[in-house]
Homo-oligomer: A and B are copies of this chain.
Amino acid sequence: MLTERIESLLAVYRDGLLQDTLPFWFPRCVDQEHGGFMTARNRDGSIIDTDKCVWQQGRATWLLATLYVRVEQRKEWLDWAENGLVFMQRHCFDTDGRMFFQVTRSGKPLRKRRYVFSEAFAAIAHAAWARATNDKEATREARILFRLFLRYLNTPGLLPPKGIPETRPTRGLAIPMITINIAQTLREMIGDEDFCTAEIDRCIGEIQTYFVKPDMQCVLETVGLNGEFIDHYDGRMINPGHAIEAAWFILHEARVRGGDQKLIVMGCQILDWMWERGWDTEYGGMLYFVDARGLPVQEYWHDMKFWWPHNETIIATLLAHHLTGQDKYERWHQLVHDWAYSHFPDPEFGEWYGYLHRDGRISTPAKGTMWKGPFHLPRMQLYCWQLLEEMREKM
């Protein structure tokens, strides 16, 4: 990549993060009355719903504490992070140690879900906070949450089953994938090198063994317990943006390990296949769901363009280019970057729209929902900014 291109991209991501994304969310979504964050926001930032998604509490806390650690020790970032952490600790835990999924503005529980993703995001939030403030209690809490997460996922029968698993038992890509991300974050923020690296190796092995399908040239989302292809709606439904997120977690691991070739090959292989599956050659952008055999997908929003698969693909292609030097990945990065930046940003009120139709038209002007908050976009901006700084230094 040419130095000029590096400089210009670096400015896009850095300035986008600091001057556009962060000012859209903060201090606006910080609830000064009850604590926590209200992330359900209309185009102009006004509130759509005061309910609080627990995922977003953890993710926003992680983001703010991480910015404090990796960008600058701004007191406001720390204050807002604390506001999220305290709200989670006070209102988001059930009596069994598990967390809720959605609570009211004042913190009364509304929903608890089967899966332990609220706990995953709370773990990375506590870890980043612990690093930012050297808070030993938060370090301990991050470890407890990560172990609770692992215990629930790896102890048969502990999580309520999805459907009737005896008939068609399955395993899902999301679980090893997010485990890698929590382990990488805990290792970066609070150490625990051996434990975290072992978990990462285990999960990368699981993805390779069960989900990566060379004969089909794709990564499946849902497989049988031994990796069997399930030739039904769920088993055929692939999520290119999601698999590409897994690809960059693996490429990031290669980067952390000083350029581990095996991991680079694996991450790039996943990226190559899923780009092929997900890139919309007609309208541009990443399709949401694709059927592995080319049959119709049952989910109604299969051909929409969501913001986050574009964030993940921008990271993955830039990282693949950085690690391999291949022109192909620079081209792909430019393709997905240009498509995303010409369709998602809102020049008037800032941040990105989240949900576009296949051809790029806006489906909803909402900037935040229970699912979209300050996470994928600022994480991408931060990651790419700092990766480009490293690339610049190596020129």
Contacts and interface: CB of A to CB of B under 8 A. Distances in A.
A267 to B, nearest CB: 29
A50 B232 contact: yes
B49 A233 contact: yes
A392 B168 CA distance: 53
A233 B370 contact: yes
A18 to B, nearest CB: 27
A25 interface: no
Interface in A133-189: 163-164, 167-168
Given A40-B233, A233-B40, A296-B365, A104 B302 contact: no
11 contacts: A48-B233, A49-B232, A51-B232, A110-B163, A112-B164, A296-B364, A298-B369, A300-B300, A300-B363, A301-B301, A357-B358
A-B complex: 4 closest residue pairs judged by Cβ atoms: A300-B301, A296-B366, A111-B163, A108-B167
Contacts of A297: 364
Contacts of A167: 104, 108-110
A302 B301 CA distance: 10
Given A100-B164, A110-B168, A357-B358, 12 more contacts: A40-B233, A104-B167, A110-B167, A296-B364, A296-B366, A297-B364, A298-B371, A300-B301, A300-B363, A301-B301, A302-B364, A303-B363
A162 to B, nearest CB: 8
A295 interface: yes
Interface string A37-70: 0001011000011110000000000000000000
A358 B363 CA distance: 10
Interface residues of A, number: 40
A130 interface: no
Contacts of A363: 300, 302-303
Interface of A: 40, 42-43, 48-51, 100, 102, 104, 108-112, 163-164, 167-168, 232-233, 295-298, 300-304, 355, 357-358, 363-366, 369-371
Give the secondary structure class of A's interface.
Answer: loop
A370 B109 contact: no
B296 A300 contact: no
A54 B104 CA distance: 35
Contacts of A298: 40, 366, 369-371
Contacts of A371: 298
Contacts of A233: 40, 48-49, 51, 369-370
A308 to B, nearest CB: 13
Contact of A300 (B112, B232, B355, B370): B355
A42 B296 contact: yes
A302 B167 CA distance: 34
Contacts of A102: 163
A102 B164 CA distance: 10
Contacts of A358: 357
A375 B109 CA distance: 38
A164 B101 CA distance: 11
A186 to B, nearest CB: 30
